[in-house]
Amino acid sequence: MRHPTPRRTALALFGAALAAAPFLKPPHAMASARAIGLDDPAKKEIAMQLVSSAENSSLDWKAQYQYIEDIRDGRGYTAGIIGFCSGTGDMLDLVELYTDREPGNVLAKYLPALRRVDGCDSHDGLDPGFPGDWRRAARDAAFRRAQDDERDRVYFGPAVRQGKADGLRVLGQFAYYDAIVMHGDGDDPLSFRNIRRRALRTAEPPASGGDEVTYLDAFLDARVWAMKQEEAHSDTSRVDTAQRVFLRKRNLDLDPPLDWKVYGDSYHIG
């Protein structure tokens, strides 16, 4: 079952905004980035498992395509492999993409309701059939591909690009990805963009000549600060007993074996 805490505060327009106006890359950023990044297939699989341990209390992230429930965090229904929400716009984007690819699919009839509830926690027009139809849609390979593609467009791709631009290795890119998953991005003071800015006040990333471990410590400090501003995110174990563990071990490429805890539960990747 998904733990009730892990969600983000604002994400609508994030993918489009970042694609239109990405962070400026320092001139030597590409030289600083390592050849193997989080987008390496083996590392990406690890990233999916790490996030799933926090979002779903399971390493089996592929079992989450069909997941859906209201975790009572003010964001309506939370569903799928990355926690798409009916109240934050990304679920609407996902169903629109799926419907563009597969007109007449089982979720298409909910598009008017998803547009109405965007920005609030209402189920108006979604109950009682939406959860069951979501699970039925998850049997369709086209819907699973749509979830993968939206995850990559809105969360994974931007995080990896910014991490590489900052000269970060795999762990740093993952820290960015996990932050974007929870917090989204934009003008909200608790967004990824502003968490990163807070870190930059005290440390420089490797692409600007800083020490990677020092910078990641500063970023995780800023992330914990942001999490503690919201009761729904106040359990910071996905940082304290997971990402910090890897950082203390200087495992900057997330090389297995990996052992960590989230919400008191232990996990292992061999």
Q: Identify whether 69 is a catalytic site residue.
A: no
* 223 close to 242: Cβ distance less than 8 angstroms: no
Backbone angles phi, psi at 260, to 5 degrees: -155, 170
Candidates 39, 40, 45, 55; catalytic one? 55
C-beta atoms surrounding 37 within 10 Å: 20
Q: Identify whether 73 is a catalytic site residue.
A: yes
* 157 close to 241: Cβ distance less than 8 angstroms: no
* 215 close to 204: Cβ distance less than 8 angstroms: yes
B/e letters for 250-270, b = 16+ CB within 10 Å, e = fewer, are: ebbebeeebebebeeeebeee
Candidates 39, 45, 69, 73; catalytic one? 73
Strands in the chain per DSSP E = 68-70, 77-79, 84-85, 258-262, 265-269
Whole-angstrom distance, CA of residue 94 vs CA of residue 102: 12
Q: Hey, which residues are catalytic here? A: 55, 73
